[in-house]
Amino acid sequence: MLLAVARFRENRKEAISKNFVLLAEGLASEGHHITTITPVAFDTEKTIEQCALRKVSHYHSLVEALINLVKACRSINKKSNASSYDVISLHIATPIELLIAFIFLKSSVRKMTHVSIWQSYMSVSELKKNHRFYLRYFNKYFHLIFFNSFLTAFFYKYLNGRFHSLIVHNEYQKRQIVALSADRVCVVPNGVFSARGPIPERVPCERLRLVYIGHSKASKGVDFLIDLATTLRDRNIISFELTICLSGFGDERDLRNKVQHHRLQDTVFFKADIDVYEQMSESDILILPLRTCVGTSLQPNLIVEAMATGLPIAVPYFEALETLVSFSENAIELSLENVSLSAKKIESAWINRQLTDMSHNQYKRFLEQHTLEHFLKGYSEALGVSK
């Protein structure tokens, strides 16, 4: 089996990269001979034949990512001539990448290539809903509007029949693509952790322990974190602490300056190099103030990881998250335009002791559909290699 991806972080601190390596390692553990094509090599204890396109990769560079994809396609063509692969699995994120794969993969190779699409595209309705946000940050997110939106989604309609199959990771994403074309689209929900027995027991604490894990970017709503912490402190209804764990993207300095400006040093703390499972097991609510669900936020590893630890989440409403999030059942709805209302909902869940039931509901969902084993089984079936 040959697995390829063009945009990749070898430290796995990014959703597609982490899931790609988990898939390669899982399939290798099942006895398959796995060859991977990645921008740079990654550490693994599994027997995997690796082909690295570069010695050093700059993940932030979209230009480099496109060049990597061209190189990956050429490498796939070359390797398919030299070896007989039963399965080729190419992992991309946008319609533009599908176009590049169509151009640079040989016709005979395309017909045996399963394309995994890891991001949704921006719909007209989402652009209308968040138009102020995209106008304000146009210089940072213009690539979404032009390369991963309804403007380029027609490539899915005209090109997906040229490949063996398409694999997506959320029912919303499937609906998007099926609306463009009736060709077969397979859904494989992602999973990161294996079940580790009973739901992790949280040590009781007098303070509500909030946690944010992710990038320091406007699209992740990090500005809302400070507003929320300030509002909770000023209301003084509950005792709380907010731990911010940043993964390397965005302006961390600006976020730290805002904490100091609002005098939140006694309630807001920063942590680096965390064990995600342990951090979530020690927290009461995961705060995800997402401004958009375009990108890997469609099926975020963080929500799946929160499920594995029984950690309730607080997140705005997005149609894309309906299969993962049920408000009052396993989540609290945030209103990014009304910080006071969001603070009240969090206070109410804590005071009325609703978090315990939410925690059990989270873990139940994890066991039913989002374990690492579910993820690997789903991919094995989608790729036609299940045993």
What CA–CA distance (Å, rounded) separates 368 from 366?
A: 5
Q: Are 268 and 193 within 8 A, CB to CB?
A: no
Residue type, 281: S
Structure tokens at 197: 């027995």
Whether residues 271 and 286 fall in one domain: yes
Structure tokens at 75: 């490498």
pLDDT score for 313: 96
What CA–CA distance (Å, rounded) separates 382 from 380?
A: 6
Residue 154 placed within a domain: yes
Whether residues 103 and 118 fall in one domain: yes
Residue 122 placed within a domain: yes
pLDDT score for 248: 67
The count of other CB atoms within 10 Å of the CB of residue 125 is 10
Whether residues 219 and 305 fall in one domain: yes
Per DSSP, the three-state class of 324 is coil
DSSP code for 200: P
Whether residues 360 and 376 fall in one domain: no
Whether residues 174 and 246 fall in one domain: no
User: Which parts of the chain have pLDDT scores under 70?
Assistant: 182, 248-250, 293-299
pLDDT score for 297: 46
Residues with Cβ < 8 Å from 297, sequence gap 6 or more?
219, 220, 290, 320
Whether residues 64 and 168 fall in one domain: yes
pLDDT score for 294: 60
Model pTM score: 0.89
Residue 46 placed within a domain: yes
Residue 248 placed within a domain: yes
What CA–CA distance (Å, rounded) separates 156 from 162?
A: 10
Whether residues 272 and 322 fall in one domain: yes
Structure tokens at 209: 């322990």
Whether residues 101 and 174 fall in one domain: yes
Whether residues 140 and 281 fall in one domain: no
Q: Are 5 and 63 within 8 A, CB to CB?
A: no
Whether residues 106 and 214 fall in one domain: no
Residue 159 placed within a domain: yes
Count of domains in the chain?
2
Residue 11 placed within a domain: yes
Whether residues 166 and 264 fall in one domain: no
Tell me which residue range forms the domain holding 82. 2-191+371-383
Residue 198 placed within a domain: no
CATH number at residue 288: 3.40.50.2000
Whether residues 221 and 87 fall in one domain: no
Residue 200 placed within a domain: no
What separation in angstroms does the CA of 162 have from each of 6, 230, 292? 20, 53, 31
